[in-house]
Amino acid sequence: MGVNIEYLCPAYICSGFFDERFTVMFAKVKEIEERYNELEVDLGNPEIVRDQKAYQTYAKEHSMLTPIITAFRKHQSLQDEILDNQSLLDDPDPEIRQLAKEELDNLSSSLSKIEQALKILLIPKDPNDDKNILLEIRAGTGGDEAALFAADLFRMYSRYAESRGWKTEILSQHMTGIGGLKEIIILVEGNRVFSRLKYESGVHRVQRVPETETQGRIHTSAVTVAVLPEAEEIEVQVKQDDLRIDVYRSSGCGGQHVNTTDSAVRITHLPTGLVVTCQDEKSQHKNKAKAMKVLRSRLLDLETAQQKSKISEERRTMVGSGDRSERIRTYNFPQGRVSDHRIGLTLYKLEDLLQGDLELVIEPLITHFQTEALKRSDGN
């Protein structure tokens, strides 16, 4: 299926704007538009409406295609306006010709922006973007100071989640006596959570003067963050024979149930050696359910990592950003500075970021990786 060249304005055809990539892109969009129209018919079909599972499947696909079709139809509308204004360039009235030329310049700029938006919308989607996540924060080098910063990051992500209307649930946590966190695992549920937080995986370094430091020396500590897409049971099949499940008495601060019943659960996945523990709930069954949720997500993450390892070194370098051994960001308290090392971003808005204004770094990261994806797409 091709694109009707006659539909496009002659100015762009003559200028070389309508090149091979343009043709391919719009052929793809026309195919998507056909599918979109089919879905609209299906969603009005009484039989499909009665089948809620089928209806939700079609509705989700329709919703995913809507931004592409909206941009495409806007592009078509702009082309029509350009054609109308081009006809005025030969008007005998010089004032009308000038107005038409100015309007054409504005329309051309809008058309270029819409085309760029379409390119981004057509970038192959990460299949995990719509998923909820398991956010794992662990204190690394730095002892108590690292644990205190892990608690700071937990509050930062919690505030960001709240600002977006997402729900958070603590699945597991190990606190220190001074209010720090050795480790915490949180389930974050909401609209496209993974798409916003997936670039947070990595080593977060903090530079500040600890409260216990009497000579005012700056210490450097590190915290690791892992963002795992929540795995559905149908995605990761876990055989019961592959599990060793141990129960024991909970330990740690708080809660009358601690040290009174065998409610804590440790699950070991024998084929991979992955171990998950959960002791926050009074009920052994609830702890087991939470531990299984974490295990499935870690197994999905492991499988994804193995798939990525098969990709070429060049491709892995381009994708980057998901390796949790990589130092991705530094939080410098004396200077109130945050630096994201992957994209060379430096901001002097540390307090705003820690209060949950993560869009300060998330938007530049998304823009950067979209640009990289566009470069690869143009190079194909």
pLDDT tens for the 380 residues of the chain, in order: 333 333 334 334 333 444 556 677 778 888 899 999 999 999 999 999 999 888 888 998 898 899 999 999 998 899 889 888 888 888 888 898 899 889 999 998 898 888 888 888 888 788 889 889 999 999 998 888 999 999 999 999 999 999 999 999 998 888 988 889 999 999 999 999 999 999 999 999 999 988 766 677 889 999 999 998 887 765 677 888 888 888 887 665 544 444 456 788 888 888 888 888 888 777 888 888 888 888 888 888 887 777 666 544 433 443 333 344 568 999 999 999 999 999 999 999 999 999 999 999 999 999 898 888 877 766 55
What's the CA gap between 164 and 221, in Å, rounded?
A: 29
Burial profile 241-273: b = 16 or more Cβ within 10 angstroms, e = fewer: eeeeeeeeebeeeeeebbeeeebbbbbbbeeee
pLDDT of residue 88: 87
CATH code at 240-307: 3.30.160.20
pLDDT of residue 260: 54
Q: Tell me the three state secondary structure of residue 338.
A: strand
Q: Where are the domains of the chain?
A: 5-121, 133-230+320-375, 240-307
pLDDT of residue 322: 35
Task: Show the tokens assigned to 375.
Answer: 């470069």
CATH 3.30.70.1660 assigned to domain 133-230+320-375? The reply is yes
Comparing CA positions, the residue from 202, 214, 198, 47 lying closest to residue 138 is 202
What's the CA gap between 89 and 17, in Å, rounded?
A: 20
What's the CA gap between 185 and 265, in Å, rounded?
A: 15
pLDDT of residue 308: 63
Report the topology of domain 5-121.
Answer: Methane Monooxygenase Hydroxylase; Chain G, domain 1 (1.20.58)
pLDDT of residue 235: 64
pLDDT of residue 4: 34
Backbone dihedral region of 252: left (phi > 0), alpha (psi from -120 to 50 degrees) or beta?
Answer: left
